[in-house]
Structure 1
Amino acid sequence: MLDIRGVDLPLLVSLDILLEEKHVTRAAARLHLSQPAMSAQLARLRALFDDALLVPADAGRGMLATPRALELQSPLRAALAMLGQAVRRDPPPFDPRTAERTFHIAGNDNAVLMLMLGVVQQVAASGGPQLKLAFRTPETEHLAGQMERGEIDLLVGGSRFIPANLHSAPVLLVQHRMAQRKGHPRGTRPLDLDAYCALRHIVVSTNGSFHAFMDDQLAQHGRTRSVPVAVAQYNLVPPMLAATDLVCTLPSRFLDRFEGQLDTFDLPLAVPPLDLSLAWHPRSEQDSGLRWLREQVLAAAPGMPQ
């Protein structure tokens, strides 16, 4: 068996050209070598493979490949092509029509709907059969390791939840509004702070806590509210609101999808908007597929209602 540790890459490149040209002088010209230098490389290759590799043609013009050389030619060409692709400075362009790839995207249902719907539409409309999107719920305690190992390609969510070791890009600012069912006994009059605090609220909490973002905002004004229900997913809120007199404060972009079921109102106090971002691991910075994925989100974001 050939010990490749004794083989330098230029020597294999020379063999590839020699087998293609079957002529020492022409091979030397293509590699910008002198004819004696090319002959010396052929001698080294013959010793390395213990085979003549190329022998003079009977007609005296050019050379003929030996059976051993013919066996080497195809796998050698394929190996050099793969190596060339691996060390290219610029990654090959990503074509969603032909790509064989599954993107793993972490984000809660609210962030995924607001930021990724355009990508889902793009993949459904023009992506090839081997281009797939796998959405999963973030596991905060495991997220850094999952992204480092490539188990998650992209994180979508609020900027304040993005780990510091990731690269990120802000995408969308979304204002908050309060939602209630159609026909709510409160009516549709504008909210004041007393009315808001007197209502009974649902909060979205992945850990079952009844304290949420709005409670911190109210505390700055010395106020509290009643929160009898906490749910883990945003999509559970609209049917619960429609069936009760509970209310909920949510991003307006999310509530826009339920305008036929719910009435929404400006909040009675100023609160910071939800700033949504994309995040990825630094090792994926030059990944052409992931760059395409980010571009799809960024292209769709400016047209999103806020």
Structure 2
Amino acid sequence: MFDLRGIDLNLLVSLDALLEEANVTRAAERLHLTQPALSTQLARLRQIFGDPLLIPSPSGRGMTRSARAIALMTPLHEVLNHLEAVIRQQPAFDPFADTRRFTIAASDQAIAVLGFQLMQSWPEHAGPGVQLAFVAAEQLTSVERFERGEIDLLIGSERMVPAWTKARKLYDEHFVFVQRKGHPRGLAPVDLDSYCALGHVLVSTSGGSFFGFMDEHLQALGRARRVALSVQHFTLVPELLIRTDYVSTLPSRLVTRYRDVLDVFELPFEARGFSLFAAWHPRDQADPGSVWLRKTLTQIAADWSA
């Protein structure tokens, strides 16, 4: 097999011009090279092909193509044109014509809020050839999953987004206090004493903990609440609350879907919220499909916040 590693692509471009012009001076002008520089390239090309390629014309004007040069002209020109087309071609993605699978890793509350909106409107954004999967976000394995190409996008708070990824903020979120409609506590604003005394359902995404984000705030105030139950998924909590007298503190957008069965109140203390981000691998920064997915998700988040 012929070893192409020693051939500079520019030599082939020069050869194409030399064979077409059959004149070193005109070819040099066309290539914006000096005549001595092009003559040096021609000597190299003769060595590579083992053929003179261009022979001085008997008339003393210009050059005559060798038989090998004549045979090279058409295929060389076609190859260079094809290569130029490949380089100039801009990648594109048409969600209604192309076929692709996207996988988004997210927490269950992000799926229930933003993912639900995306899934509900999916037929408006993509055709049947584009499939979408949501999987649970696992902070410790997100790096490996990104590297293996198993996920296209990660949706999570700033705590979940690896520092090396590219990321875009989708929206800011805050927490609210919730109870079922008809709760014996009544509809008065909740005060700190009542908040601490009620039986709470805590979401521990790592599983099994009875001390969470709100408990950090209360501890700073010298207070503590009574956590009765700990679950690992946000989406379990509303269903549990409407059937019991437990209460909970949840992200406000998640609660929006349950306002017909839950009453919502401001917290009786200042609590930090969080921001939700979309993150992706740097290699997908300019990938048309990834760009489309990010823009679609960002628009849905913007419409939600509007």
TM-score w.r.t. structure 1 length? 0.75
Deviation at 1:244, TM superposition (A): 1.4
Deviation at 1:190, TM superposition (A): 1.4
Closer, same or farther: CA 113–42 of 1 in aligned 2, 3 Å: farther
Match status 1:196 vs 2:198: no
Deviates more, 1:192-201 or 1:69-78: 69-78
Aligned match of 1:221: 221
Deviation at 1:95, TM superposition (A): 2.5
Aligned match of 1:186: 185
Deviation at 1:135, TM superposition (A): 1.4
Deviation at 1:115, TM superposition (A): 3.1
Checking the alignment, whether the CA contact within 8 Å between 1:13 and 1:80 is kept in structure 2 is no
Q: 1:134-153 maps to which residues of 2 (within 5 A)?
A: 134-153=133-152
Query: What secondary structure, in the 3-state scheme, does the structure 2 residue paired with 1:142 have?
Result: helix
Closer, same or farther: CA 4–160 of 1 in aligned 2, 3 Å: same
Query: What secondary structure, in the 3-state scheme, does the structure 1 residue paired with 2:183 have?
Result: coil
Aligned match of 2:102: 103
Deviation at 1:129, TM superposition (A): 2.6
Query: Structure 1: how far apart are the matches of 2:301 and 2:187?
Result: 31
Closer, same or farther: CA 289–13 of 1 in aligned 2, 3 Å: farther
Query: Structure 2: how far apart are the matches of 1:290 and 1:214?
Result: 35
Identity, in percent, stands at: 44
Aligned match of 1:283: 283
Deviates more, 1:206-215 or 1:286-295: 286-295
Structure index of larger Rg: 2
Could you tell me which runs of 5 or more consecutive residues in structure 2 were left unpaired when the two chains were aligned. Answer: 52-64
How many aligned positions are there?
296
What residue identity is the alignment partner of 2:213?
F
Checking the alignment, whether the CA contact within 8 Å between 1:104 and 1:134 is kept in structure 2 is yes
Query: Structure 1: how far apart are the matches of 2:150 and 2:14?
Result: 40
Aligned match of 1:60: none
Closer, same or farther: CA 158–50 of 1 in aligned 2, 3 Å: same
TM-score w.r.t. structure 2 length? 0.75
Deviation at 1:11, TM superposition (A): 5.3
What residue identity is the alignment partner of 1:262?
L
- RMSD across aligned C-alpha pairs, in angstroms? 4.0
Closer, same or farther: CA 134–295 of 1 in aligned 2, 3 Å: same
Aligned match of 2:247: 247
Could you tell me which runs of 5 or more consecutive residues in structure 1 were left unpaired when the two chains were aligned. Answer: 52-62
Deviation at 1:215, TM superposition (A): 0.7
Checking the alignment, whether the CA contact within 8 Å between 2:11 and 2:45 is kept in structure 1 is yes
Q: 1:258-277 maps to which residues of 2 (within 5 A)?
A: 258-277=258-277
Q: 1:47-86 maps to which residues of 2 (within 5 A)?
A: 81-82=85-86, 84=87
Deviation at 1:286, TM superposition (A): 2.4
Query: What secondary structure, in the 3-state scheme, does the structure 2 residue paired with 1:304 have?
Result: helix
Checking the alignment, whether the CA contact within 8 Å between 1:253 and 1:305 is kept in structure 2 is no
Query: Structure 2: how far apart are the matches of 1:230 and 1:261?
Result: 21
